[in-house]
Chain A
């Protein structure tokens, strides 16, 4: 557990963080959000003593961090900085293994761990382990940065806009990845972001800051449903109904889907499904290839690209809705890793979820 009590940080005359108190429970993700310069990074950096608080107390599992040796403390905390900061002269494997090297873990074990982590973050070890940072895309480098922070299996992660430099599409992929990892690893995470959708999607709790102070610390749903004051309302924006959909992963709303093999599609006749039902068509290895559509002359197959229409169980309902609207279809397929349809999300369910909130 991370606990802040009345923590203040001055830079000369500037008060960057002003008497802040909050705590993050074990295994929870706490997201810090707020306008630029409100003190998010400063707050984060005081946890691993990259900065020392001017007054107040920060403790981890009941121990005051100012009493721990900074280097020792830092080795037990994964730290992901916005600008990634991979060591340019080392390959990906050595970059991931560096913290363990500091801890004098032997080489074979370090490298095995690095390969495992590459698998975990969804990059093929064979292909990536010997690459150098200048050969990576922005998104890949960000993932390696996360892998490096995870290498020594620290119970606590500090992440400062870890997906800041990634385009929106890849950012969604990385967020999904993060949720998957977090579900498996159960770290205690303090996460800084500028992006409200990201905060809503990833956070168990959200801290909204302004001028170094906490304005509201609540669950994402509460922040959206019960903004404490005008500042929060403005920050959340007019489309909070839509934003709220980011709180919910689609996995809770999956309906059974109808699907047939493509060679059977030609001979398919309507077996009495209701107006909402869509029939998905799969090809060889059961991966999605299209959907059936009624036409005057019977049925025909419309080809679909799985990555354009599909969502995964950890995608948010907001993503599902945007796919629905974007593709102009009545349901979106939920896919597993091999693009097989495991179910579908239907528009009425999304509407109902939205109604419930307002």
Chain B
């Protein structure tokens, strides 16, 4: 499939229809054969049995597949985009994406069952990203449409990236400040448990676009009524409503996990702590915190990843962020621009997710690791 489908397309300019090229019609010499050889090796491996050797070979071939596909794509870029076509650009299509997907599936499938050192596994996982990043930095990918879109807006990009991160980070921080106490209160006061959870659950079910929209009217009203609020930047559109909406969204996983983390501490453990004469603060330090912090952190992990995604929508009400490119791309019918906005969002979410997983592993005391992993 990877070898038969069109592999790459050429566009004379930004909005023109793409012209698909097959792997074999690109005028390349040995590169397609390399790719074909790797695909054949992958097929052979898929037919051979299990075992540590086969697994290692699969990981190697899978990684090579991605590298080769990337190599073909950028060699093709160099051939197709010449001085004669200054606005020309290439974009990977079917064949390339299938190769990349196959590479991911092969590598991930073998890693999942492998009992290797987590550090090595992690390194293998980021390897393709590193290769792609390297290619990007070296300028080899400059002829790619996505990269062209980026080059045209490099300043704007880093600005929106910062805005995006800042929005998500502030929202999650606010959600932690509100959500953790809310979870504790829901646990301590039986009466408040239902109302609290009904509230945060309901918020979660409102579609994100609607929630952002809902923020506009009341905030605009507030801003008009109170000049002080307007002075500090509270308006119907912009950062303030976006932050509020994002915070509300981030609340549920944090409240839920805080509540759960407290409810799973065995009564006997609390009683033992009290019985040996722990003060309120010592109970928190020696018993409650070590047992609940890992669970609360995994709630925060869910919240952050969600917030990175949701922040995209914030661009709609003028708060900025990487969503700006997505919606611009939608408006101009320029899919490459959309992809350029979406890919960093996905990368951010994945990176933060892995980072939080690492952190959670670090703060989880050894006696508890068994059950949480």
A residues touching B (Cβ–Cβ < 8 Å)?
48, 50, 70-76, 79, 81, 83-91, 98-99, 101-102, 132-134, 145, 148
Return B278 CB to nearest CB of chain A, in Å.
6
Q: Name A99's closest neighbour in chain B (CB-CB).
A: B276
Query: Is B250 part of the contact surface with A, judged by Cβ < 8 Å?
Result: no
User: Are A133 and B278 interface neighbours, CB within 8 A?
Assistant: no
Please pick, from B267, B279, B370, the residue contacting A71 in the complex, using a CB distance under 8 A.
B279
Q: Is the CB of A88 within 8 A of B268?
A: no
Give the complex CA separation of A236 and B296 in angstroms: 52
Contact A87 B272 (CB under 8 A): yes
User: Is B207's CB within 8 Å of the partner chain A?
Assistant: no
- Given the complex, which residues of B lie within 8 Å of A84, measured CB to CB? 268, 272
List the A side residues contacting B282 at CB < 8 Å: 102
Cβ-defined contact, A133 with B275, below 8 A: no
Query: What are 11 pairs between A and B in contact, CB < 8 Å?
Result: A71-B277, A72-B277, A74-B275, A81-B272, A83-B268, A89-B290, A89-B368, A90-B365, A102-B277, A102-B278, A134-B371
- Contact B268–A81 (Cβ < 8 Å): yes
- Find chain A residues with CB under 8 A from B291 CB: 88-89
B366 within 8 A of A: yes
Contact A89 B268 (CB under 8 A): no
Partner of B286, one of A48, A50, A75, A98: A98
Q: How far is the CA of A76 from the CA of B277 in the complex (A)?
A: 8
| Contact yes or no, B275 A91, CB < 8 A | no
CA distance A133 to B269 in the complex (A): 12
With a CB–CB cut-off of 8 A, which chain A residues contact B19? none
Least CB distance from B73 to A in Å reads 50
B interface, CB within 8 angstroms of A: 266-279, 282, 286-287, 290-291, 365-368, 370-371
Report A187 CB to chain B, min CB distance, Å.
16
B366 (CB) vs chain A CBs: closest residue:
A132
Q: A132-B367, A133-B367 are in contact. Are A88 and B269 (CB under 8 A)?
A: yes
* Interchain CB contact under 8 A, B367 and A85: no
Nearest B residue (CB) for A84: B268
Are the CB atoms of A88 and B368 closer together than 8 Å?
yes
- Do B272 and A86 touch across chains, with their CB atoms under 8 A apart? yes
B235 to nearest A CB, angstroms? 47
A184 to B278, CA, bound (A): 28
In the complex, chain B residues whose CB is within 8 Å of the CB of A83: 266-268, 271
* B residues in contact with A76, CB < 8 Å: 277
> In the bound complex, do residue A134 and residue B370 qualify as a contact, i.e. CB atoms below 8 Å apart?
yes
Nearest CB of A to B294, in Å:
9
Across-interface contacts of A91 in B (CB, < 8 A): 366-367
Contact status A85-B277, CB under 8 Å:
no
Q: When chains A and B are docked, how far (Å) is the Cα of A74 from the Cα of B282?
A: 14
State whether A50 and B277 are in contact (beta carbons under 8 Å apart), knowing that A87-B286, A132-B366, A133-B367 are contacts in the complex: no
Q: Give Cα A191–Cα B135 distance, bound, in whole angstroms.
A: 74
Q: Are B276 and A79 in contact (CB under 8 A)?
A: yes
Give bound CA distance, A99 to B267, whole Å: 19
Neighbour of A81 across the interface among B275, B286, B366, CB < 8 A? B275
Would you call A50 and B276 a contact (CB within 8 A)? Answer: no
Asked if B272 and A71 sit within 8 Å, CB to CB, the answer is no
**Cβ contacts under 8 Å, B276 to chain A:** 74-75, 79, 98-99, 102, 148
Most buried by B among A84, A89, A99: A89
Choose from B277, B278, B367 the contact partner of A90 (Cβ within 8 Å).
B367
> What CA separation (Å) do A98 and B276 show in the bound complex?
9
B368 touches A50 (CB 8 A): no
Q: How far is the CA of A79 from the CA of B268 in the complex (A)?
A: 12
Cα–Cα distance between A98 and B277 once the two chains are bound (Å): 10
Complex Cα spacing A91 to B369, Å: 13
Chain A positions within 8 Å of B287 at CB level: 87
Find chain B residues with CB under 8 A from A70 CB.
Answer: 277
Q: Identify 6 new A-B residue pairs, CB closer than 8 A, beyond the known A102-B276, A102-B277.
A: A71-B278, A73-B277, A81-B271, A88-B367, A99-B276, A134-B370
Are B279's CB and A48's CB within 8 A? no
B171 to chain A, nearest CB (A): 31
Smallest CB separation, A74 vs chain B (Å): 3
4 residue pairs, one from A and one from B, having the closest CB atoms: A85-B272, A74-B277, A85-B268, A132-B367
CB <8 Å contact, B367 and A134: yes
For B274, list chain A residues within 8 Å (CB): 50, 74
Contacts of B290 in A (CB 8 A): 89
Say how far B208's CB is from chain A's closest CB, in angstroms.
37
C-alpha gap A102/B286 in the complex (Å): 10
Give the distance in Å from the alpha carbon of A83 to the alpha carbon of B370 in the complex: 21
Chain A residues whose CB sits within 8 angstroms of the CB of B268 once the complex forms: 81, 83-85
Residues of chain B within 8 A of A85, CB atoms compared = 266, 268-273, 275
Cα distance A134–B368 in the bound complex, in angstroms: 9
Cα separation A85 to B366 with both chains bound (whole Å): 18
Complex Cα–Cα for A73 and B277 (A): 7
Q: How far is the CA of A86 from the CA of B273 in the complex (A)?
A: 9
Whole-angstrom distance between the alpha carbons of A14 and B365 in the complex? 42
CB-CB under 8 A from B370, the residues of chain A are 134
Bound Cα distance from A87 to B286, whole angstroms: 9
| CB neighbours of B371 from chain A (8 A) | 134
CB distance from A83 to the nearest CB of B (A): 4
B283 to chain A, nearest CB (A): 10
Q: Which of A73, A88, A132 has the most CB of B within 10 A?
A: A88
Report the minimum CB–CB distance from A156 to chain B (whole Å).
13
Nearest opposing residue in chain A for B290, CB measure? A89
Task: For residue A203, give the distance in angstroms from its CB to the closest CB of chain B.
Answer: 22
A133 to B370 alpha-carbon distance, docked (Å): 12
Instruction: List A contacts of B277 (CB < 8 A).
Output: 70-76, 99, 102
A152 to B83, CA, bound (A): 84
Minimum distance in angstroms from B279 CB to a CB of chain A: 5
Which residue of the partner chain, among B271, B272, B367, contacts A89 with CB atoms under 8 Å?
A: B367
Q: What's the least CB distance linking B361 to chain A, in Å?
A: 14
Chain B hits for A99, CB < 8 A = 276-277
| A72 closest partner in B (C-beta) | B277
In the complex, chain A residues whose CB is within 8 Å of the CB of B366:
89, 91, 132
A81 to B267, alpha carbons, bound, how many Å?
A: 11
Residue of A nearest to B272 (CB): A85
| CA of A304 to CA of B161, assembled, Å | 79
Report the bound CA distance from A336 to B223 in whole Å: 87
